[in-house]
Amino acid sequence: MAGRDNTSDDRTPGAFPPPSRRRVLRLAGGGLALAALTVGTVGCEEDAVDVEEPGSAGGDATKGGGEGSGDGGGEKGQAPKPLWTKPTSAETYGDNDELVAAGGVVIASGSPLAALDAATGGQKWSLPGGAVPGAPLLLGKDTLYLASSDYDGSVIGYAPASGKETWRSRLGKDYRQPQPIAVDEEQVYVVAEILEKDGSSRTNVIAALNSTTGRIAWKEQRDIGTEQNGIHAAVRGRHLVYTDFKKNLTVRDTASGGQVWTHKTTKTNYGFFTVHQDLVIVPQGSVLQAFNLADGKEKWSLEASDGALFREPAVLEEVLYVADSARTMWAVDPRTGKQLWKSEALADAGLQVPRQYVKAGDTVYGATDLDKQGGIIAIDARTGAVRWTFNDKTGDYHAWLVATDGKRVFALHGKKLHALPV
C-alpha cells in the first residue's frame, strides 16, 4: 500500500527566512539542471553578504580577527591555525551530508569526487564522475554509498580508504535516479522516481536494498504529490524516519516498509530532526518535541524563551545540542528533555547560530550559514562558552560545513577545505 505522506505545502517564513535559492536547489538535487547553477543565480539573501578581502585564517571569538596559536585550544580566544588548507572540487549547497570523514580520509561532495588524506591533505583517490548533485555522501558499514554519476539507476558502495567499489545495486529499469537516504547494518534505503510509459514521473518509491547482496528487500510507492527531493532521513532499529519539504515526519518499519505513523511539522521546520535511542526529536517552532519511534506519542517537550524558534538539533555523545533564533544555545538530556545548561555566549559575542554540530573531546564545533561573524565556532561542551571562531575571510557565499575524525576538525567553505587541530 502506498504511504500516507500528506502533500500540503503552505510553508511560510517564521522568524527565520525560508531556505535560500541555493539551499532549495541543493535539496531539490538529482537533476542535471544544477550543473548550470552559478554565483550569479544566488538570491538576495546571499547578495547581502559583505565580501571581505582574504586575510588570516582564524578569528577572535568576539572580534573575528587575529592569528591563531597553532594548538587545538587556541590562545586568548583565538582560533588555531589550520594544519593544512587545500583547494577542492567541492560543489556544495549547504546540506550536512556533503562533507564526511572516514577511513583516514576526508571527502567533500564534488566532481571529481576527491578523498584527501586526513593528516596531510594529499589526495588519496578520486572518482571522475563525482557525486550526483542533491544526493548525499552516505556512510555506513565502513562503506560510502553514492548514487551513480552515470545516471544508470545504480547505487554504489565504495571503501572510503581506497575508493574501490565494494557493492552495487539497481532498483530496475522502471525507476529513475535512485538516491540513498539512510543505511543500517542490513539495508540501504533509497528513494527513486517511478517512470511512466512516456518517460515522465508523477510518483516515487521508497525501497530497502540488502547491503550484502544488493537485492530489493521491499519497496513502497509513496502518494502522488510527494517528492523524492529534499529528504532528510535516519534509521534506528526497526524504524526509518524521514522528512521532506511537505512538512511531514514519517516513520516506516524497516522490515516491511509499512508506514508506522506520520506527524505534521511546522512552517518553520524544513526537515530538521535528530534521533536518540527510541526517540525522534523535532524542532516545532518555539517548542522542541520528542516522540516515541514506536507509536508517535510525545515523550517530552521543551519551550524556547521569548518566542524564539529552535534551529537544527544534534545528539552527540548522549547530549542534545540546539540553538534558537535568539542565539541562545541549549544542552539537553535527550531522554528526558531536562536542560543541562543554557548559554547566551553566542549572542554576547555577536555570532551567528550554528546549523550543524560535531564533537571532539570536550568541545562542540558548530558550522554556521553565511556570516562574516560565523564560520566554525568552538563551544565548551560542559558550559556553552565560546572558545574561538575560525573564518577564512574569503567572503564566499557558501555555508560552512564541518566534520571530524576525532583527531582533527575539517571545515569546508566553498572551494577551500581546512583541517584544524582539536
At 18, the pLDDT band (50, 70, 90 cuts) reads: very low
The Cα-based distances of 210 to 188, 257, 310, 319 in angstroms read: 6, 13, 36, 32
Confidence (pLDDT) at 418: 98
Q: What is the pTM of this model?
A: 0.83
More confident residue, 25 or 328: 328
Interval 277-315: pLDDT, tens: 999 999 999 999 999 999 999 999 999 988 899 999 999
For residues 239-258, give the mean pLDDT: 92
Location of C-alpha cell 530497502: 208
Mean pLDDT, rounded, for 91-103: 87
Q: Is pLDDT above 60 for 68? A: no
Q: How confident is the model at residue 43 (pLDDT cuts 50, 70, 90)?
A: very low
For residue 349, the SS3 value is helix
Residue 162 pLDDT > 60:
yes
Contacting residues for 266 by C-beta, under 8 A, at least 6 apart: 14, 247, 284, 285
Q: Is residue 2's pLDDT more than 50?
A: no
Residue 10 has pLDDT above 60, yes or no: no
More confident residue, 348 or 42: 348
Whole-number pLDDT of residue 23? 45
Residue 14 pLDDT > 60? no
pLDDT in tens, 115-160: 999 999 999 999 998 888 878 899 998 999 999 988 888 999 999 9
- Mean pLDDT confidence for 230-257: 92
Q: How confident is the model at residue 73 (pLDDT cuts 50, 70, 90)?
A: low
Q: Compute the distance between CA of residue 345 and CA of residue 364 in angstroms, rounded to an integer.
A: 14
Output the average pLDDT for the chain. 83
Spatial contact of 37 and 370, defined as CB atoms under 8 Å apart: no
Which residues are registered as beta bridge partners of 108? 99
One-letter amino acid for residue 119 of the chain: A
Q: How many CB atoms lie within 10 A of CB 141?
A: 15
Using a CB cutoff of 8 Å and minimum separation of 24, what contacts does 197-205 make?
201/176, 204/228, 205/171, 205/175
Beta-carbon-side half-sphere exposure of residue 187 (alpha carbons within 13 Å): 24
More confident: 79 or 34: 79
